[in-house]
Every structure is written in structure tokens, then in C-alpha cells.
Amino acid sequence: MTMLETKIEQRSGSSDLPCGAFDFELPPALEAHDPPEARGLARDEVRLMVSQLGAGSVKHTRFRDITRFLRAGDVLVVNTSGTINAALDAWTSGGTPLELHLSTRVNDDEWVSELRTPTDAGTKPYFDGVAGERIALPDGANATLEAAVSRQAPVRLWRAHIDTPQPIEAYLHRHGYPIRYGYVRERWPVSYYQTAYATEAGSAEMPSAGRAFTPGLITQIVAAGVEVVPLLLHTGVSSLEEDERPYPERYRLSDESARRITVARAEHRRIIAVGTTVVRTLETVTDADGVTHAGEGWTDVVVTPASGVRSVDGLLTGLHEPRASHLLMLAAIAGCGHLRVAYGEAIRKQYLWHEFGDLHLILPVE
């Protein structure tokens, strides 16, 4: 068993969800089915809900006005991972059509992978795979299921050997497409799943909290005296079943980024994470004294109210589904009462959920 598989095994199982399970009802009308560009909006015209910790109310605006809520000296930490075409058409030896989702690259030709069955409403997990089975892929390629990643049944994730006639990057560019779920009605090109500041492809799914930033808006933010600090975390699949916790993901934080974050914290400047992936990375490399260290490797950190948060003061994030494990992290940062108020407002004001939806900026009290 590899180090990655051991960490996945340890993290498998249901999670303790916050705020009395936070099992709210998400109306189907509030699911973002298409990118904002397809709805007649620019990327930075999605809505932004701004909530301040300790305050009992929230503010509503457009994302392009985010600079109003930032101040000189703030540090925005962004995840520069780019999205890959991680989904492939696939078939069992008997010809049953499937989708293969490549989640996390273990080495050159092995990936943690998920098999899913196409349905009229998107896809659902395929649990009938067996070790040693060869799954056919386009252009004569194949995926061999080598071992279940977790001992729990039914098996959803496999370590799979991927055999392609050309390097995997070129193969995915030609035959792959972005992972999508039932609420996204059309297959959109991978360009719709990239942030403006992506530098290195490797995420199975888009780090979507930063999608609304445009080059012009980033320029405006920097001109206002806000620092933008990069890190890298390649995301895996988010199709977690039965309240599974997030799986290990590969991260990298440079010496320079770690230094800038530590200096900002020592100077009592606000550190605002753009996305839950950033929080996960920083909580991995920030020690109990508040010093953020450079690092690279796998993180299996799951942020919960019990663990608390020591690395960030605020968070820009999307709106998360009922019972999503990300709500553990939001509860750790904002508390249950704040979260209930904010999500109640989002539903009342008809905000849109998911990767093409609206955004939520959580800031510390002034």
C-alpha cells in the first residue's frame, strides 16, 4: 500500500458534520447549470455575498466590486493549479459504457481513479469493478484496475494503471473532457474550468473559488495595495459519497510564498484564502506559533471545528451543498451561527451554487 493509499484508508468513513448536520434543502432552481458567460454575464459579474464574523447581517454585491471589501496590506492566497480534462469515455470488457474520472496522479502511469455510470441525470458511482479488470478507453488505450484504494465496500476509488498510445497530457487533451455532474447540462471546454492565474495543470476539478477573478480585476486589486501570494494544490474528485472526508491531495508552497505569509501574519495583516484548497494547504504547513513553512508533498489534513484554523483570517469560497464536508471547514472559520445566517441569506436572495455559481467572502470582524 502506498503512502497515498494509507492516508486515504485512514480518512475513509463518514464525517461529523457541523451545525446539527447542516442538512438544509437546496432548491434545484439554485443550481448553476451553465457558466456565467452562457448566462450573459462576465466572469466577474457573478454575485458576491460578504459576511463579517461577529456581525448578524451580510452584504450583497457583484464580484467585480470585491476590492471595496479589501484593504491595503491584505494578502490574498490563491491556488494556481490548472484543471485537466480528467474524464474519459470508457467501456467494460462486456461493452457497458462508463466514465473514468482520473482523480490523483500517483506516478507516471498510475492514478487514483473513479468509475461512474452515465445516466440521464449525469453520472453515478459504478461499484462493480474488480481487481485486474481492464477498462477500454478511446484510441486503443486502457485502464487496468490494480487495487481498491480503500478496504471499505462498495469500492468507489481504484488505483489504476493507465496505458495510452501517447503521453498522458497529450492523450487527455485529445480525448478527455472536464469532469461534470448532473447539474451541468452541457459539456464545456476546459477553458471554462480555468482560473485566470493557473500556472500548472493537475487538478481533476477546478479550484472554483477563484474563477471569477479576471486579469483586469487582479490588476485593480494589486493596485489597491493587496498582495497576491500563490501556492499549488492539485484537487482530486469531489464526488464524495456517504459523507466521505476529502482525500489526500498533492501540494507545494514555495519559500517566498511562505515568507510573505509569515511576515503578513507577524504584522497583523489579514490573510484571506481564495478557496478551501488554500486553507487545506496552509493548515498543513503552518505551525502552532503561526509560522508558515515551505513544503511539498501530500496533505491529508481535514479542517474541522475541533481542529480549528490558525493559518487564515478570511475565506473566499463558493456555496457548498448540504452535508458537504467543506462545511466542516467553514464552521471552523465562521462558526455555526454565522454560517446559518449567511446560508439563509443566500437561499433567500436566490444565490447560485456549484462551480459556476456565486461566491461568499467571509471576513474577520473589524
Higher-confidence residue of 350 and 327: namely 350
Give me the percent of the chain exceeding a pLDDT of 70: 92
- Residue 220 is predicted with a pLDDT of 98
Q: Is the peptide bond before 230 cis (omega within 30 degrees of 0)?
A: no
What proportion of the chain, given as a percentage, has pLDDT over 90? 77
Q: In angstroms, rounded to a whole number, what is the distance separating the alpha carbons of residues 317 and 330?
A: 9
pLDDT value at 1 more than 60: no
Q: In 3D, which of 285, 311, 294 has the Cα closest to residue 75? A: 311
pTM (two decimals) = 0.92
Residue 255 has pLDDT above 80, yes or no: yes
Per mean pLDDT, which range of 230-234, 299-303, 357-361 is the poorest?
299-303
Q: Is the pLDDT of residue 5 over 60?
A: no
**pLDDT per residue as tens digits for the range 203-253:** 999 999 999 999 999 999 999 999 999 999 999 998 665 556 778 999 999
Farthest-apart Cα atoms in the chain, separation:
63
Alpha-carbon torsion, ordered 14, 316, 351, 323, to 10 deg? 10
Looking at residue 11, its pLDDT comes to 41
pLDDT of residue 14: 41
Q: What is the pLDDT of residues 86-144, one digit of tens each?
A: 999 999 999 999 999 999 999 989 999 999 999 887 889 999 999 999 999 999 999 99
Q: Measured between alpha carbons, how far is 157 from 129 in angstroms, rounded to an integer?
A: 10
- pLDDT grade, residue 9 (50/70/90)? very low
The residue among 189 and 13 whose pLDDT is bigger is 189
| Whole-number average pLDDT of the chain | 91
pLDDT of amino acid 54: 79
Q: Which of 29, 36, 12 is nearest to 325 (CA)?
A: 12
